[in-house]
Every structure is written in C-alpha cells, then in structure tokens.
Amino acid sequence: MTDATLAVHGLTHDFGERRALDGVSFEVRPGRLTGFVGANGAGKTTTMRAIVGVLRPDAGTVTFGGSPMGLEVRRRIGYMPEERGLYPKMKVAEQLVYLARVLGVAKADAESRASGLLDALGLAERRDDLLHTLSLGNQQRVQVAAALIHEPDLLILDEPFSGLDPIAMDAMAARLRDRAEAGVPVLFSSHQLDLVERLCDDLVLIHDGRVVAAGDARALREERAGRRYRVAVAGEDAWRPALAGMTAVEAGPHGTLVDLDDGADPQELLVAAQAAGPVTHFSRTVPSLAELFAEVVR
Ligand code: ATP
C-alpha cells in the first residue's frame, strides 16, 4: 500500500435530538502516533465507531489508503473498543489465538504472536488463566493484545491507557510506538494529556462534535506560543518587570512568567532583567497540551 492514510471527512451524526458529530474531518497518517483528545461526550468514541464501521454515520466518509472502508479493509483494523468485549471464561492465550484464527492467521503464527505479545505486555505468566480472574488492568492488557494479534494495518484504540499502572503504560506506549514505526497509522483516545503530549506525533482535538485543532503536535503548540516569556534572574526569586505592556503572571524559583502585550518588545524585558542581576534563563514558552486544550475548547 503506498498511501496508508486514514482520512475522515465530514462525519456527522445525530442521536435523536443531539448532534454528536458535526462535520468531523481529520487524517491519521502512516507511521504517526495520533492522540485523540476531547472532554467527556465530545464525540471521540462515536468517531472511532464510525471509522471501524460499528456505527453508520448520518453523513461523511471514511477512507483508508484512498479506498472506502470495505469488509477487506475492516479486517485489517485493530480496534480496541470502549466496552471491552472479550470472553471472560476463556484462557488468555487461547482467546488470543482464537481471535487471530478468526481473522485468518495460520495457527502456528497465531500461537507465536500470542506468546510474543503476552511477553511484551508482561502477561506471560497469566497465559493459561481465565480472563475474568485477571485484575482489570491486566484484562486491559489482554484487550490490547487482542487488538494487535493480527498485525493490523491500522490501529484504532479507545482509551487504551485508562486503568493501567505505570509499568503497563510504558509497555503499551512501546507497543504503539513500535507499530507506528512499522508504518501503521495509530489513533488512540486519552484523557491523560501529559501522556498524549509525551507520546504523540499528531493530535486531533475535538469539542462538541467538531474538530477544533488537528495536525503536528509540536507545531500546534508552537503556533500558540504567542507572547509569554520565562525569565530567571540569579538571586531574584520574585523578580517582576516594571515595564509598560508586560504583566508578570507568576514569579517563583523557576523564574518569572511574563505576558507581553502586542507592542511590547521582549528585548526590553531582557535588558530590564539584566539590570536586576545575572540572567540565568530567558525563553519564549510553548503552551503545554493541557493549556492548548483549555484554550481551544473555551
Ligand atoms: P468520553 O470521553 O466520555 O468517552 P466521547 O468523546 O467518547 O466521551 P461519545 O461517547 O462519542 O463521547 O459521545 C458523544 C455524544 O453522543 C454524547 O453526548 C453522548 O451522550 C452521545 N451518545 C453517544 N452514544 C450514544 C447512544 N448510543 N445513544 C445516544 N446518545 C449517544
């Protein structure tokens, strides 16, 4: 496949009177870990269900590599739904092999992949346990293994990190990174913004059924870097500039955060800081994902 981009265009869907999706469009590019972020009820799950074909949207299209999502393409998706749907009374490894077999993987391959995934996700010792005897976090790890077992060409994961301990989170992040590096487009939703910020190449921010920002994660934050500066003066923990058009929003041991009005010159800020003492830090700050999110959903 030459262009394995997932393209979502104009998805619109109503549940009764309520418009859950209102013209949702974005792309998930091959090899990019893409974080899907939005408040409760923003439309993430509905979008993902429309992508994988569990829900038929009122309007809009979904294509993968330029083709509509037919049955053949759908078989190549790894989907981890919000409502986790595995067999509680089946043994962990047996279940993974079974799922792979249903999706057309040969028995020997299915067995070796199941073992490899259980190893990678720290579940090797639980392979012969019944799923329902595992803790919730461990059941979640099995769900991830289930989404990956047929080596999908596209990964759609609804909150794969929720409920995981830090070790499992790292294991999960490594698996997703590994898949992305293999050229797979990966879309996952999460409320853990620090994790999304650390992990993702691209972002899709959704608010009230509309995409409010999408694209390269760093570029989206840089675009909004605006006119906030951090300046630190040695020995002056609470230094504040007394200059027109500059407002110190926070002063502490890591320096002073200063917002500059449109006409204000950052060089003047630097000169004033130097007059107060040796300047140990001077930078324009880039908003965190949490700050970006707060700004775009306002
Ligand atoms: P969360 O972060 O809470 O999982 P979400 O972003 O995944 O939220 P969705 O589950 O897609 O949000 O819900 C979008 C909107 O559609 C919400 O207002 C929700 O109440 C509504 N909705 C979702 N599924 C249904 C349904 N089956 N019937 C009626 N309304 C629904």
Q: Domain limits of the chain? A: 1-76+152-216, 85-150, 224-296
pLDDT for position 84: 65
CA 189 to each of CA 44, 46, 243, 249: distance values in angstroms, whole numbers, following the listed order: 7, 11, 44, 32
Instruction: Using the predicted structure, report yes or no on whether residue 1 has a pLDDT greater than 50.
Output: no
Average pLDDT of the segment spanning 259-278: 93
- Give CATH for domain 1-76+152-216: 3.40.50.300
pLDDT for position 266: 93
Query: 14 exposed, middle or buried (CB, 10 Å; 0-12, 13-18, 19+)?
Result: middle
Average pLDDT of the segment spanning 97-115: 91
Please name which of 78, 72, 103 lies closest in space to residue 28, comparing C-alpha atoms.
Answer: 78
pLDDT for position 34: 97
Please name which of 186, 112, 188 lies closest in space to residue 149, comparing C-alpha atoms.
Answer: 112
Which residues partner with 257 through β-bridges?
230, 250
- Among 8, 11, 45, 205, name the best residue to mutate to test ligand 1's pocket (greatest count of ligand atoms within 8 A of Cβ): 45
Pocket of ligand 1 (CB under 6 A): 15, 18, 20, 38, 40-46
Higher pLDDT, 226 or 178: 178
Instruction: Using the predicted structure, report yes or no on whether residue 82 has a pLDDT greater than 80.
Output: no
- Among 46, 49, 55, 191, name the best residue to mutate to test ligand 1's pocket (greatest count of ligand atoms within 8 A of Cβ): 46
List, in sequence order, the alpha helices (H) in the chain: 44-52, 71-75, 92-102, 107-120, 136-148, 166-181, 193-199, 217-223, 266-276, 289-296
Which residue's CA is the closest to the ligand 1 atom numbered 10? Answer: 45
pLDDT for position 110: 93
Count of CB atoms within 10 A of residue 66's CB?
11
Average pLDDT of the segment spanning 85-112: 89
Average pLDDT of the segment spanning 147-166: 90
- Counting every residue written for the chain, the total comes to 298
CA of 20 to the centre of ligand 1 (A): 7
Average pLDDT score over the chain: 90
pLDDT for position 118: 93
Could you give the percent of the chain with pLDDT greater than 90?
Answer: 59
Instruction: Using the predicted structure, report yes or no on whether residue 199 has a pLDDT greater than 80.
Output: yes
CA of 115 to the centre of ligand 1 (A): 35
pLDDT for position 224: 75
Instruction: Using the predicted structure, report yes or no on whether residue 6 has a pLDDT greater than 80.
Output: yes
Q: Which atom of ligand 1 sits closest to the CA of residue 16?
A: 29
Instruction: Using the predicted structure, report yes or no on whether residue 2 has a pLDDT greater than 70.
Output: no
Please name which of 203, 207, 223, 206 lies closest in space to residue 215, comparing C-alpha atoms.
Answer: 203
The tens digit of pLDDT for each residue in 25-79 reads 999 999 899 999 999 999 999 999 999 998 999 999 999 999 898 888 888 899 9
For 288, the token pair is: 């965190």
Please name which of 133, 167, 127, 130 lies closest in space to residue 145, comparing C-alpha atoms.
Answer: 127
CA of 279 to the centre of ligand 1 (A): 50
Looking at 22-26, 42-46, 216-220, which range is the least confident one?
216-220
Confidence at 155, pLDDT banded by 50, 70, 90: very high
Residue 8 — left, alpha, or beta (φ > 0 → left; ψ -120 to 50 → alpha)? beta
Confidence at 120, pLDDT banded by 50, 70, 90: confident
Instruction: Using the predicted structure, report yes or no on whether residue 146 has a pLDDT greater than 50.
Output: yes
